Chains A and B, each alone.
Chain A
Amino acid sequence: MFNALSESLDNTFRNLRGVGKISEKNITDALREVRLSLLEADVEFSVAKAFIATVKEQAMGEKVMKSIKPGEQIVKIFNDELTKLLGGDQAPMDLNPPAHILICGLNGAGKTTTSAKLALRLKKDGRRPLLIACDLYRPAAIDQLKTLAEQVEVPCFAPEAGETDVLKVAKQALSWAKEQNGTVLIFDTAGRQEVDETLIEELKQLNKLIEPKETLLVADSATGQQAVSVAQSFDAAVGLTGIVLTKLDGDARGGAALSMRAVTGKPIKYIGEGEKMDQFTEFYPDRMASRILGMGDIVSMVEHA
């Protein structure tokens, strides 16, 4: 039942007991295990470091020092703090008219899929979403969004083949939307690397034109150490209002979530858990925290002890 992390922490402390009193140094040493675990979960190096420092103070408390299973206690503190950090100031979506949602992110992150999933979700909530294809670059990107839009039965604005001017498309889409009686406009954009200045500039222009209420960064949960650079760059370019974490149906530990949350302060609003249109839900910080720490039932075990 014990997972590797809390077990190795317990062992560390058990060895220490023989030696005598648990000291600050002992705790610092033990926290190396947690640090390693965070790094293995792809939490960014400096984020992991800062986080450990915050938690260390609490770990120095009486409860841990005197506990029979100090390892579990430390893990629980981490888990609670992680949950707090991941879930703090969760903001609802701003869908006041004109409700424009800009979907952006790296290539292949899951933007087009997320756009359609979000449309379905909003439709179920009684809104009238519209999908707008602004990826003029990837072959058949428009076909992809059109197909998904049909599946979720949401109107879709599809630019003509060969069109290359995103701003022109967005303008056309805005006037098309007026005739459609829709209430929320979701703009799917082309994938781009955050270091690609030309494409980031294009995104900025689009952002300026449509003035979105919500700008969501779609990010793959398996993202590694670049998560910070990705989130910061997109935030600097277009001002993110939230993050959507995709492909959580895999087994990536998802440290990217913590990294992005920590550096941008933007909430994770939704998660994708599969390729199907309804595999899309709210984000649960507590589940994510356990996942990052790589532990199963440890928290509830500690709570019920």
Chain B
Amino acid sequence: MAGFFKKLYNKVTNRADIDWEEIEAELIGADLGARTSMEIVDELQNLGRKIDADDIIDVTRRHIAEILPADPAPIAPREDGKPFVILVVGVNGTGKTTSTAKLAKLLKNQGHSVLLAAADTFRAAAVEQLERWSQRLEIDMVKGPPNADPSSVCYKAHQKAITDGYQFLICDTAGRIHTRHNLMEELGKIHRTISKQDDSAPHMNLIVVDATTGGNALVQAKEFNKAIDLDGLIITKLDGSGKGGVGVIIQKELGIPPRYIGLGEEPEQFKAFDRDEFVSEII
């Protein structure tokens, strides 16, 4: 049992009456939100019998597991040989550039050829950051001149990916706060540009969400989903104290499933989302 519920577990086993508020507090502490937490507490109360710590864990895990979909099949190269294009988006500082590099490494380790596009042309040294990763991981990267239009960088990278036969193209984008209309428009433009050379592209739009984020993560996902249809979530910084409960809420409210998780700053600290593991870690 992950440390999280241990304290509570001991309390419940030693005590006749249940402190419902305390249980709720633990659930809210995982950023599951007040409403989902209350639903779980209701479910427990509705069992209509004396509950013990195992009930709490079982009900909570089942409730969360029911919200989350079964793990999707891993992404695979396209059969027609054209590049599978992944667009990585999100608000500032969530871990897009790092996750872009990590995902590229994951795919490379599976034997696929990957190209990176440094389409954050805005933030100071963002291109250099991805470039360092590309050198370190030995993965090719396309960049533009300083302050280039991010769409044109993606276009150029896509062109290269098609011509040179890369199986995957991953585009890192600048962090943008979802309330900034013009920046969200820019994202739409990047998206349209990528579809110019292949109208099925991009094939996967991933939003990166920081596990430490509270309720605003849902708003972030909602707004990005309006600008470009999101296909999945990367939940980063799960090595910290954040439990990433917002991932559950985002799936519940928007139907956008978690696809990958980040567990540290090192390139191998990244993997495909595993529902059972996530559910057992959250409580």
Least CB distance, A266 to chain B, in whole angstroms = 19
Contact assessment for A36 and B129 in the assembled complex, using a CB-CB cutoff below 8 Å: no
List residues of chain B with CB within 8 A of the CB of A275.
92, 122-123
Q: Does A107 contact B (CB under 8 A)?
A: yes
Contact between B214 and A224, CB atoms less than 8 A apart: yes
Q: Which residues of B contact A143 (CB under 8 A)?
A: 124-125, 128-129
Please tell me if the beta carbons of B246 and A220 are within 8 angstroms of each other in the complex: no
Q: Mark B88-102, 1 if CB is under 8 A from A, else 0.
A: 000111110000000
Q: How many residues of A contact B (CB 8 A)?
A: 45
Assess the B124–A223 pair: CB atoms within 8 A. no
B29 at the interface (CB under 8 A from A): yes
A91 within 8 A of B: no
Q: Among residues 179 to 196 in chain A, which have CB atoms less than 8 Å away from a CB atom of chain B?
A: 193-196
Is B179 interfacial (CB-CB < 8 Å)?
Answer: yes
The answer for the CA separation of A289 and B117 in the assembled complex, in Å, is 42
Judge whether B201 is part of the interface by a CB distance below 8 angstroms: no
A250 touches B177 (CB 8 A): yes
CA distance in complex: A40, B38 (Å) = 12
B260 within 8 A of A: no
Q: Is the CB of B216 within 8 A of A253?
A: yes
- By the criterion CB–CB under 8 Å, are A138 and B265 in contact? yes
Q: Which single member of A36, A46, A146, A224 contacts B213 (CB below 8 Å)?
A: A224
B72 → A minimal CB distance (Å): 26
A143 to B28, CA, bound (A): 39
Name the residue among B33, B215, B219 with the largest chain A CB count within 10 angstroms: B215
Given contacts A36-B34, A39-B34, A143-B125, contact A222 B239 (CB under 8 A): no
A110 to B212, CA, bound (A): 14
Interface hits, A200-215 → B, CB 8 Å: none
Q: Which residue of A45, A144, A220, A223 is within 8 Å of B28 (Cβ)?
A: A45
Cα–Cα distance between A46 and B28 once the two chains are bound (Å): 10
Give the A-B pair count, Cβ closer than 8 A.
139
Cβ of A247 and Cβ of B239 under 8 Å apart?
A: no
Q: How far is the CB of A198 from chain B (nearest CB, A)?
A: 12
Residue B241 at the A interface, CB < 8 A? yes
In the complex, the answer to whether B241 meets A252 with C-beta atoms within 8 Å is no
CB contact between B129 and one of A140, A222, A226, A247 (< 8 Å): that residue: A140
Do residues A107 and B213 form an inter-chain contact, with CB atoms below 8 A? no
The chain B residue with its CB closest to the CB of A194 is B241
* Complex alpha-carbon distance, A166 and B42, angstroms: 51
Interface residue B237 (Cβ < 8 Å from any Cβ of A): yes
Asked whether, in the complex, the Cβ of A247 is within 8 Å of the Cβ of B28, the reply is no
> What separation, in Å, do the CA atoms of A250 and B215 have in the docked complex?
13
- CB 8 Å contact bits of A239-260 with B (1 = contact, 0 = none): 0000000010111110110000
Instruction: State the CA gap A94–B126 with chains docked (Å).
Output: 33
Name the distance in Å between B33's Cβ and chain A's nearest Cβ.
Answer: 7
Whether A88 is near chain B, meaning CB under 8 Å from some CB there, is no
Q: Tell me the complex Cα distance, A297–B131, Å.
A: 47
The residue of chain A having its C-beta at the shortest distance from the C-beta of B242 within the complex is A226
User: Main secondary structure on chain B at its contact with chain A?
Assistant: loop
Select A106's contact among B24, B217, B240, beta carbons within 8 Å: B240
Q: Is A98 an interface residue (CB 8 A)?
A: no
A40–B34 touching, CB < 8 Å: yes
- Does A250 contact B91, Cβ atoms closer than 8 Å? yes
Q: A249 contacts B213, CB within 8 Å?
A: no
Residues of chain B within 8 A of A41, CB atoms compared: 215
Docked CA distance A256–B31 (Å): 12
Task: Decide yes or no: A220 and B212 within 8 Å by CB, A144-B125, A249-B180 being known contacts.
Answer: yes
Q: Assess A108 versus B95: contact at CB under 8 Å? Given A41-B215, A193-B237, A220-B213.
A: yes
Q: A114-154: which have CB < 8 Å to B?
A: 137-141, 143-144, 146-148, 151
Interchain CA distance A40-B217 in the complex, whole Å: 12
Question: Given B132, B178, B240, which contacts A139 in the complex, CB threshold below 8 Å?
Answer: B132
Tell me which residues across on chain A come within 8 A of B132, comparing CB atoms.
Answer: 139-140
In contact, B93 and A110 (Cβ under 8 angstroms): yes
Q: How far is the CA of A75 from the CA of B177 in the complex (A)?
A: 29
The distance in angstroms between the C-alpha atoms of A144 and B123, with both chains bound, is 8
Q: Hey, which chain B residues are within 8 Å of A146, CB to CB?
A: 125
Q: B110 to chain A: closest CB distance in Å?
A: 23
Question: What are the 8 A-B residue pairs with the smallest beta carbon separation, nearest first?
Answer: A224-B214, A108-B93, A42-B214, A139-B132, A193-B240, A143-B125, A144-B125, A147-B124
Given contacts A39-B34, A194-B241, 8 further A-B contacts (CB under 8 A): A45-B29, A140-B131, A193-B239, A224-B246, A225-B30, A250-B177, A252-B214, A275-B122
Q: List 27 A-B contacts (CB under 8 A).
A: A39-B34, A108-B93, A109-B93, A110-B92, A137-B265, A138-B129, A138-B265, A139-B132, A140-B125, A140-B126, A140-B132, A143-B125, A143-B129, A196-B240, A220-B93, A222-B220, A224-B215, A224-B217, A224-B242, A226-B31, A226-B241, A247-B91, A250-B177, A250-B178, A250-B216, A251-B179, A252-B219
Which residues from chain B sit less than 8 Å from chain A, CB to CB? Answer: 24-25, 28-31, 33-34, 91-95, 122-126, 128-129, 131-133, 136, 177-180, 210, 212-217, 219-220, 237, 239-242, 245-246, 265
